[in-house]
Structure 1
Amino acid sequence: MPETCRASAPRSPAAEPGPVPFFSQEATFAEVWPTVRAHCRDVINGGRYARGSKVAELEEALRAWTGARHVVGVNSGTDALVLLLRAGGLRPGEEVIVPAFGPAATASAVRLARGRPRFADIEPAGHGLDPESADAAVTPRTRLLMPAHLGCQMADMAGIAAVARRHGLRMVEDGARAIGMRWNGVHAGLLGLGGALSFFPTNTLGAIGDAGAVLTEDPRVAETVADLRLQGRAGRTLDHVPGLSDLGVPIRVDSRMDDLQAAVLLAKLARLEADIARRAELAAGYTERLSGVPGIRRLPGPVPRDGHGSPVHHAYLVEVEDRDALIRSLTAAGVGSEVFCPVPLHLDPRFAGLGHRRGEFPNAEAASATALALPLYPDLADDDVERVCDAVRHFYTGRRAA
């Protein structure tokens, strides 16, 4: 989800219906707090607060949950991408193909790893990296493909893998929001060299601050990421990392996961399957109520593909007309919302030096102009979904539901 979290104050269950915040986990924490407290007591009593026993415990739990051979906890989803790119052999100045729609962290991670983002368009439905556009974007300097799994399903991994094979490229996955998503039973992040997870609070599995992890089947990738997060371990150097001596700047410092964040994640991981199921119920409720509403151009839903597994709704992303006016109307009605990607990344001023022009990636530009995330999280009540949909209908039709 977005890089910042703007959650309204939580509502009291006994109060009259109040605002519907974009995100809240008050009820979740009321349920998991005894477990969180026990884990935190272990951390405090153990006296080790970063990359300690709780991080190791979480890594093992994530290995079991995802089926990954290796999991390495780090301090954020962005650092997970940066370290994964370095472990994937990216050298300074080499290109990584990334989608032109999505959070800026996907492309920023390439720059932080001293690579060069090479943008490609997205598919109009599903918002995943478009294999044909990615194929056309390949140049002699391209080293890696990095699809990002947005919406409620993985990108077209069969098509993207075919591009990688055709051009002899390696593939890593930005699975920041993809925990629980699978392709032919294989968890997101395990179809190439590895994948990155983000545990930002609004994500499907969220901490109470920043945290992330790298998933991989490759022991060399796992070992390199583990080395990089600590700037090398005792008795080891970083000479085995390709291109690292060419960076010209100190390597990133302290990419370790905080044990208190690991404690929270361990408690919430125990209810992740139930949370994913609840998100699916809420998404179905939105789709039922918003289908046919004028002004809504596209509702989220899985795109039929060979190999696609069950969707995971980390967000409910609609494409709408008059988005800014709708946001103002929702805000006045006490309904939170978020703009997922207000500017397509190839037109973002942060990447102006890459020389892109408007019109190059029309699907990304259209999504950036119309996509809006509505509240979707396990604490949301069915009545809240009705209130959100009522506010949307009222904006477009001028009449409230009976």
Structure 2
Amino acid sequence: MLSESDVVRWRVPWFDGRTSFRDAWPAVEARINQVFDHDKFVNGQVTAELGQAIASYTGARYAVGVNSGADALYLVLRAVGVGEGDEVVMSDGAEWSSVAAVERAGATPVFTAKLSGRTRAVLAAHSYGRMPDLGALRKIAADAGVPLVEDGVPLGSRHDGVHAGLSGAAGAVSFAPDSTLGALGDAGMVITGDRELATRCMMLRHHGRTSEVPGSAPDTSGPAAMVGVNSKMDEIQAAVLLARLDGLDGALARRREVAARYTSRLTGIDGLGLPAQDVWPAYVVAADRRDDLAEHLTRAGVQTVIPRAATSLALPVHPDLSPGQIDHVCDAISRFYRGGRA
């Protein structure tokens, strides 16, 4: 197996946000300066402002900033009562991070629609922006009398007018740098319309302390009412996200352009199934000889990601990709299926 060290540099990296961050830097710098002016660097005023902005953008009543997308899902699972010995029914698109969050909560992931007396939640995963069958999953959850939870929620994705993450009890959002809205490190958020669930997530993110409720002062700490974790959002990450939020719709439009160019160039290649969706964290193809294709692309200087699904391969689709880089990826894929060299 070819290792990344065998490639001198990536001609087409999975993510390269230097141009976007350079363009956004004046606004980012101004927001970061606000953090220093406030002299509070974790879970403060800027995090609260970001929560309000994300709630407004998505239509959620509450948006709770946390340390990462993985923590967001873990805290939601805890907040809806998932614990030791329980089972969580997972959609087929769930990635390893979703599985890890379920196991971290003490539960067992179940990848069928089989319900049992131990079923405590149904998890709908938006894998790389692909919308799960929310109607079917809602029915499974309703039949079991358990909450529907969404993971991997891509900002800007909507179904029947409802933003992703709000079709059930809550949604977990990641702000990793390569997300549709990316920080300069890890950050995440829980979006929900349920005040009680939001309150529990606010408590759980701060060691279970009771002062973490909507409307209370964010810099006070009460007694611990439950066993929580330390998963508060860094103010600097919140500042970066607030500065970049105004450009989100433009970035989503650019990702659609990148995806459209992929589709135009790759249509008709035998052995390759192409995706169709509206929001593009990545461009995930269904590929015959997936692992061989991934190695072939690595040799061509193209960085890819292998999802959990057996034939899936995720291609980079970030806004800073040039037409030449997209064409390089497509040319390499075409050569692979024609039996040529990288």
Distance 1:99 1:164 in 2: 12
Is 1:391 aligned with 2:309? no
User: How far apart in 2 are the matches of 1:151 and 1:259?
Assistant: 27
Partner residue in 2 for 1:217: 193
Structure 1 counterpart of 2:138, one-letter code: A
Contact between 1:102 and 1:340, CA under 8 Å: does it hold in 2? no
Determine if contact 2:206/2:228 at 8 Å carries over to the other structure: no
Aligned-partner residue type, residue 299 of structure 1: L
Q: Deviations over 1:131-189 (max 9, x none)?
A: xxx2xx11111111111012443211111111222222221111x24221112111111
Q: How many residue pairs end up in the alignment? A: 327
Among candidates 269, 274, 279, match of residue 299 of structure 1: 274
Taking only the aligned residue pairs, the percentage that are identical comes to 42
Give the counterpart letter for 1:386 in structure 2: D
- 1:270 deviates by 0.9
Distance 1:152 1:226, change over 3 A: closer
Using the alignment, how far apart are the partners of 1:332 and 1:324 within structure 2?
13
Would the aligned equivalents of 1:74 and 1:80 in 2 still touch at CA under 8 Å? yes
* Offset from partner CA, 1:276-327 (integer Å, 9 cap, x none): 111111111111110111231x11114xxxxxxxx21111001112222222
Residue among 152, 156, 162 paired with 2:133:
156
The one of 380, 385, 389 aligned to 2:321: 380
Q: Does structure 2 conserve the Cα–Cα contact (< 8 Å) formed by 1:230 and 1:253? A: yes
Whether 1:340 aligns to 2:307 is: yes
Contact 1:152 1:301 in 2 (8 A): no
**TM-score, normalization by structure 1:** 0.77
Taking structure 2 as the reference length, what is the TM-score of the superposition? 0.90
Unaligned runs of 5+ in 2: 212-220
Q: Give CA-to-partner distance per residue, 1:191-235, whole Å, 9 cap, x none.
A: 111111011111111111111000010110111111111121447
The 1-side partners of 2:327 and 2:121 are apart by 44
Unaligned runs of 5+ in 1: 11-17, 121-133, 245-250, 303-310, 342-366
- Tell me if structure 2 keeps the 8 A contact 1:177–1:204: no
Shift of 1:101: 4.4
Instruction: Note if 1:99 corresponds to 2:91.
Output: yes
> Which SS does the other structure have where 2:36 is aligned?
helix
Q: RMSD value over aligned CA atoms?
A: 2.2
Give the Cα separation in 2 of the matches to 1:139 and 1:186.
30
2:107 matched residue in structure 1: 115
- The answer to whether structure 1 residue 182 and structure 2 residue 149 are counterparts is no
Letter in 2 for 1:383: G
Q: Secondary structure at the match of 1:44?
A: helix
Residue 291 of structure 2 corresponds to which residue in structure 1?
A: 324
SS at 1:33 equivalent: helix
User: Aligned partners of 2:132, 2:170: CA distance in 1, in Å?
Assistant: 15
Contact persistence 1:279–1:313 (CA under 8 A): yes
Q: Name the CA distance, whole Å, in 2 between partners of 1:290 and 1:98.
A: 31
Q: Secondary structure at the match of 1:277?
A: helix
Are residues 220 and 109 of structure 1, via their aligned partners in 2, closer, same or farther at CA, if it must alter by over 3 Å? Answer: same
Of 52, 62, 69, which residue of structure 1 is paired with 2:61? Answer: 69
Q: Distance in 2 between matches of 1:58 and 1:9?
A: 39
Aligned partner (choices 13, 37, 43) of residue 21 of structure 1:
13
User: 1:346-374 CA deviation, whole Å, 9 max, x = no partner?
Assistant: xxxxxxxxxxxxxxxxxxxxx32x21111
Write the distance in 2 (CA, Å) between the matches of 1:101 and 1:72: 25
Alpha-carbon distance in 1 for matches of 2:340, 2:105 = 51
Question: 2-side partners of 1:184 and 1:198: how far apart?
Answer: 22
CA distance in 1, matches of 2:205, 2:300: 45
Is residue 93–residue 132 contact of structure 2 (8 Å, CA) maintained in 1? no
Give the equivalent residue in structure 2 for 1:264. 240
SS at 2:111's partner residue? strand
Q: Following TM superposition, by how much is the alpha carbon of 1:252 offset from its aligned partner in structure 2, in angstroms?
A: 4.5
Residue 336 of structure 1 aligns to which amino acid in structure 2? Q
Residue aligning to 2:143: 166
AA of the residue aligned to 1:54? V
Q: Which residue of 1 aligns with 2:218?
A: none
